[in-house]
Structure 1
Amino acid sequence: MSDQTCRVQIPDGEVIGHPDGAVYSWKGIPYAAATDGEYRFRAPRPVEPWSKPLDCRSFGALAPQGLDNPVPMDPNLPMSEDCLSVNVWAPEPGGTPRPVMVWIHGGAYSLGSAAQTVYDGRNLAELGDLVIVTVNYRIGAFGFLDLSSFSTEDTVFETNVGLRDQIAALEWVQRCIARFGGDTSNVTVFGESSGGASVTTLMTSPAAEGLFQKAIVQSAPATSVYGQDRAALVAARFLELVDITPDRVHELKTMDFARLVTAGDTLCYEIPTKVPGTLGLAPVVDGDIVPRYPVAAFKKGFAHRIPLIIGTNHDEASIFRLMKSPLMPVTSETVSEMFRAIANDHSDLPAFRVAEIMSAYPDRSKTAGALAMSRDAGFRMPTLWIADAHSRYAPVWMYRFDHATPMLKAARIGAGHATELPYVFGNFGTLNRDPTFWLGGRKAAMAVSARVMRRWVAFARHGVPATMDGAKHWPLYADPTRSMLVIDAQDTVVSDPDTALRAAWGDRVLGFS
């Protein structure tokens, strides 16, 4: 590749990309205007065009968030409410339009950034000869606090602004990505954790229809979407934390954003501590961007009927135990509290059904049983419900990621939450002090990563996750076989491995009947 930059003219202005291996990267391209002041807690606005070429050598600003968390961030990046940007990796534009993959990062809707090193899109772009886009969007109180119940004539608050940001970014892709060589008719959205749940929610949002043609959902807490009554209680608690009465809500527009960040962080951890199994800040069923609870929408056939890869990790909850994080219940006591809350919240869920679910975990009083129950409530069962429902209307491929290095096994993390991320992007060693290979296992992990990347790329390119290199055939997930790809040192296909769990949980749990 030439050492020269690559200039691309998009409708908003010229952007300058820089060589990055065998591709170019354009970092920090604004897709919407700043969100401070009067535009705080409001839908994103179009970006102001720029007249001088924009040098896209560095990532854009971090979305406002607390930095006292386990997610490694570049300390040199500024934090700002002018944070709505995308990053693009692509071969030199020209020739046949290339498939596009758009990444939505996770982080409990409250932390994280598209600038995290593990999300660098260079390897995927090179391997697949395609265009990778990663999206920065508002998180925490700025993106997922619903203050609409406190709106006045003079101070309007809108719902689900973080999701509205994601939709605006997908609209930017439709408007601009052809200039980078991308095919607007072949866009795959993929995400992990709350990013994966954002994808399942967008799949049920009329506002996102037609903006993407395929989806990959990794470890999504898809049922962590709440009603407006609950959202109003959370908003009222937020006002208490920032010491504002409802008649003074206009002051939120001018309050120092650091104060809002602190209150949002408090909600992020306070609410799941008080009500285990719930998230403090998350999408809200508003009748607009999110017209229905997403799992219910999938069950009733209201999701966009597009091909879907969806799956979970074998040991999702282990990392939360290690970090002593309240974001998931990981003890028998907190898991029991979670089930009591479920029973209290859903009068149509008989007590014997809760007992039946708990009896499916004979070691529930021990750590392993508690972790399994938490994993299944938060990730595995919502994933199964979506796969079962969506497979009636569109192609679905389901996976379970089981691979773990010797060190992760020794640390009792195993295939924990988010441990598949470096395999998907081909980016290992991105933690500040990464213990992944302290006991070996690099060669096996590289082989697993190569297969995962080829499957994801093949799906983005052709709509089928076939590697074409002799790897295990991945059949569709459909009743009655419910075939699942188990990703490990050697991939295997198993038929309906969760029969007993599905029978125990049924499909009325959590009110999603």
Structure 2
Amino acid sequence: MEATHVIEAGEPDTLTVETPLGKARGYSDGSVFSWKGIPYAAPPTGGLRFRSPAAPQPWAGVRDCRAFGPIAPQGHDTSVPIDPTMMLDEDCLTVNVWAPRPDGQPRPVMVWIHGGAYCLGSSAQPVYDGRLLAERGDVVIVTFNYRLGTLGFLDLSSFSSADRVFESNLGLRDQIAALEWVRENIAAFGGDPGEVTLFGESSGGGAITTLMTVPRAEGLFHRAIAQSPPATSVYGAERAATVAARFLEILDLPADRVGDLWDMPVERLVKAGDILVDEVPVRVPGTLAMSPVVDRDLVPHYPVAAFQKGHSHRIPLIIGSNKDEASIFKFMRSPLLPVSAEAVQQMFSGLAQDNPELSALRLAEIVAAYPDSTKPRGALAISRDAAFRMPALWVADGHSRHSPTWMYRFDHATPILKAARVGAGHATELPYVFGNFGTLNVDPTFWLGGRKAAVDVSGRMQRRWLAFTRYAVPAALDGSKHWAPYTEESRSTLLIDSRDRLVADPDQALRVAWGDEVMGFS
């Protein structure tokens, strides 16, 4: 169905648009309007639990879109600032839109995928509010929820039977359904369904690098920005089956009673999933309990290998990582990333065991490239590069052979973050992209100053992200220089800081030590 473009002005602060599914009332938000909590799929409950998202049902009358929809079921984690008054519910598949008043001139669309290690987070987090970006860029911003953890990224398909089918990669299938909703509905909000940029961070960025190799997702987005993607955190079916079996052990549920999962209280599923999320990266450092799976169905290949073999979608890409990615995991005492020399050694031992082609000499050469490898600083650097920096480079290498690619490294940190030895840690670039500072319950970002410099950095990042969205080329640097595309010959990388620099092959020695071919972090 196509959007009908019927617009009704109501009260001075409301705007109702008619979508293919029904009328949606939005509310003024600064100089733009927002519509929140619009369903893009049927509630994934009852017989749809553990199944692909189904089409949403049209509604009668006018749907009031003042408030965000429920958050995807997940455990409690204080590192993710979520409003405690918001409801968690399986019926969570909703989108949010920020847009200037539709005027008949289609605007580019930016669709955000939130991060959270595939098990946490929500589109309702204040840092993801799309108002400022929509205003600044005269674009349409879309954010959405998708299933997480046990219900979204635990692959139970090894327990499927003729009577009960557990589908794989449900969270990715939700993301595709949200993009299909954008294609079919966004024109009603003034957006151009043929000019969609998909952007996301952490597991949201990893979802993007995966979707860029998924045939079913081709054509649903036309540019991509992957911020700190853990692109190699995608595992095989055999490993997924082992994790699923452990999940049943935690629940004390025999395999012949796996059908009980369909009716089990969601709180019990989440609690068991939380145990698994904490347990797996401790037992096997460098891995996640739940993530996309190479099921040979939706996801046909390991994504990074697919990039290197030329199987990624032919679209422009911005990709990058943060200078001090791993620091925040040490600061938060999170088990999701190995941050001690002992854990890093365990990670490499696991790599050697799972990948016999990796010689002990090769692994020793990598460790030797880090002078402080036996100290916390060295362990953090190795973990940063294993999880984020090298996967981003491997993706860029493969993609740049056939499509325009730009590489960045986010280096900026406020004085308090430098003093706390967090620096440009994981996710610290998010306020700069959206322009939303001060969204934490207790936000120390500017306790020692640095606001003016941060606002300047934010403005430059937003200009580049928005220019890429509109023109498929990121905005120029200050002065006459432009952000040169990344190639395997030039390795041009934009270092984003108080003063940005375009550098050829930063950290060359570390890149050479890791090599140019994918290592199996599975």
TM-score range, shorter chain: over 0.9
Return the alpha-carbon distance in structure 1 between the equivalents of residues 258 and 184 of structure 2. Answer: 36
Deviations 1:154-179 (A, max 9, x none): 11100100000000000000000011
Match 1:290 to one of 279, 292, 299:
299
Question: For structure 1, which segment, 461-470 or 70-79, has the greater mean C-alpha deviation from structure 2 after superposition?
Answer: 461-470
Q: Note closer, same or farther for the CA distance 1:509–1:389 as it changes in structure 2 (3 Å cut).
A: closer
CA contact (8 A) 1:65 1:140 kept: yes
- Separation in 2, partners of 1:314, 1:511: 23
Read off the aligned partner of 1:493 and give its amino acid letter: L
Greater mean deviation of Cα atoms: 478-487 or 503-512: 503-512
* Equivalent position of 2:48 in the other structure: 39
CA–CA distance in 2 between the matches of 1:74 and 1:342? 39
CA distance in 1, matches of 2:145, 2:20: 20
Query: Which stretch shows the higher mean deviation, 162-171 or 242-251?
Result: 242-251
Determine which of 295, 309, 320 is the counterpart of 2:329.
320
Question: Which position in structure 1 is the counterpart of 2:447?
Answer: 438
C-alpha displacement at 1:469, in angstroms? 6.4
SS at match of 1:27: strand
1:142 corresponds to? 151
Identify if the C-alpha distance between structure 1 residues 56 and 210 changes in structure 2 by more than 3 Å, giving closer, same or farther. same
Contact 2:394 2:518 in 1 (8 A): no
Q: Which amino acid aligns with 2:138?
A: D
Q: Does 1:276 align with 2:276?
A: no
Q: Please give the per-residue CA displacement for 1:373-412, whole angstroms capped at 9, x wherever unaligned.
A: 0000000000000111110010001000000000000000
Q: What is the CA-CA distance between 1:152 and the residue it aligns to?
A: 1.1
Contact 2:325 2:384 in 1 (8 A): yes
| Structure 1 stretches lacking a partner, 5+ long | none
2:268 is aligned to 259
- CA drift of 1:95 comes to 2.6
Select which of 411, 419, 427 maps to 2:420.
411
1:171 aligns to what?
A: 180
Judging changes above 3 Å, is the alpha-carbon distance between structure 1 residues 61 and 149 closer, same or farther for their aligned structure 2 residues?
Answer: same
How many angstroms does 1:240 deviate by?
1.1
Question: What amino acid does structure 2 have at the position aligned with 1:476?
Answer: P
Identity %: 66
Q: Secondary structure at the match of 1:510?
A: coil
**Match for residue 184 of structure 1 among 187, 193, 210:** 193
Partner AA of 2:346 in structure 1 = E
By how many angstroms is 1:135 displaced?
A: 1.4
Matches within 5 A, 1:328-367: 328-367=337-376
1:58-97 superposed matches below 5 A: 58-97=67-106
Residue 236 of structure 2 corresponds to: 227
What's the CA shift for 1:480? 1.3
Residue 424 of structure 1: aligned partner: 433
In structure 2, distance between residues paired with 1:312 and 1:68: 23
Shift of 1:249: 1.0
1:130 to 134, 139, 147: 139
Q: Which amino acid aligns with 2:44?
A: T
How much does 1:362 deviate?
1.3
Is 1:306 matched with 2:315? yes
Tell which deviates more after alignment, 235-244 or 218-227.
235-244
CA contact (8 A) 1:458 1:467 kept: no
**Partner of residue 197, structure 1:** 206
| Whole-angstrom distance in 1 between the partners of 2:496 and 2:300 | 35
Structure 2 contact 153–169 (Cα < 8 Å) conserved: yes
Tell me how far 1:479 sits from its aligned partner.
2.6
Give 3-state SS (helix, strand or coil) of 1:400's partner: strand
Does the Cα contact within 8 Å between 2:304 and 2:518 map onto a contact in 1?
A: no
The one-letter amino acid paired with 1:329 is P
Residue among 35, 57, 62 paired with 2:66: 57
Aligned mate of 1:247, from 245, 256, 269: 256
Paired residue type of 2:307: F
Residue equivalent to 2:491: 482
Quickly say closer, same or farther: Cα 1:510–1:424, change in 2 above 3 A. same
- Alignment partner of 1:24: what SS? strand
Matched, 1:29 2:38: yes
Q: Deviations over 1:4-37 (max 9, x none)?
A: 3111111111110000001000001000011122
Conserved 8 A contact 1:105-1:113: yes
The two structures have a TM-score, normalised by structure 1, of 0.98
Distance apart, 1:467 and its partner CA: 4.6
Quote the Cα distance in structure 2 between the aligned partners of 1:505 and 1:441.
35
Contact 1:349 1:509 in 2 (8 A): no
Give how far 1:68 is off.
3.2
TM-score, normalised via structure 2 length: 0.97
Distance 1:472 1:266 in 2: 50
88-97 vs 99-108, which deviates more?
88-97
Distance 1:386 1:468, change over 3 A: closer
Where does the alignment leave 5 or more consecutive residues of structure 2 unmatched?
Answer: 1-8
Q: Is 1:454–2:463 an aligned residue pair?
A: yes
Q: Distance in 2 between matches of 1:482 and 1:96?
A: 38
Q: Which residue of 1 aligns with 2:6?
A: none
The equivalent residue for 2:18 is 9
1:105 to 98, 114, 131: 114
| Contact persistence 1:31–1:172 (CA under 8 A) | yes
Q: 1:472 Cα shift?
A: 5.0
- Partner Cα distance (2:321, 2:153) in 1: 24
Q: Aligned letter for 2:328? A: I
CA contact (8 A) 2:232 2:520 kept: no
Three-state SS of the structure 1 residue aligned to 2:325 is coil
Amino acid corresponding to residue 359 of structure 1 in structure 2: A
Distance in 2 (alpha carbons) for counterparts of 1:187 and 1:246: 43
Per the TM alignment, residue 82 of structure 1 is displaced from its structure 2 partner at its CA by 0.4
- Aligned residue for 1:328, secondary structure, equals coil
Give the 3-state SS of the residue equivalent to 1:100 in structure 2: strand
Of the structure 1 ranges 2-11 and 148-157, higher mean CA displacement relative to structure 2 is found in: 2-11
Superposed CA RMSD = 1.3
Say how many residue pairs are matched: 512
1:509 deviation in Å? 4.7
Alignment correspondent of 2:125 = 116
Residues 228-272 of structure 1 show CA distances to partners (whole Å, capped at 9, x for unaligned) of 000000000111112211111111010000000001111111100
Contact 2:210–2:231 (CA<8 Å) still a contact in 1?
yes
Q: Distance in 1 between matches of 2:480 and 2:84?
A: 41
Q: How many angstroms does 1:124 deviate by? A: 0.5
- Off by >3 Å, runs of 4+ in structure 1: 467-472
Distance 2:419 2:212 in 1: 38
Give the deviation of 1:111 after TM superposition: 0.2
Distance 2:445 2:476 in 1: 26
Q: Does the CA-based 8 Å contact 2:477-2:500 persist in structure 1?
A: no
Which aligned pairs between 1:363-382 and structure 2 lie closer than 5 A? 363-382=372-391
Which of 158, 167, 181 is residue 167 of structure 2 equivalent to? 158
Q: Helix, strand or coil for the counterpart of 1:311?
A: strand
User: In structure 1, what residue type is equivalent to 2:191?
Assistant: G
For residues 104 and 511 of structure 1, the distance between their equivalents in structure 2, rounded to whole angstroms, comes to 25
Summarize deviations over 1:104-149 as a string: whole Å, max 9, x none. 0000000000000000000110000000000100000100000000
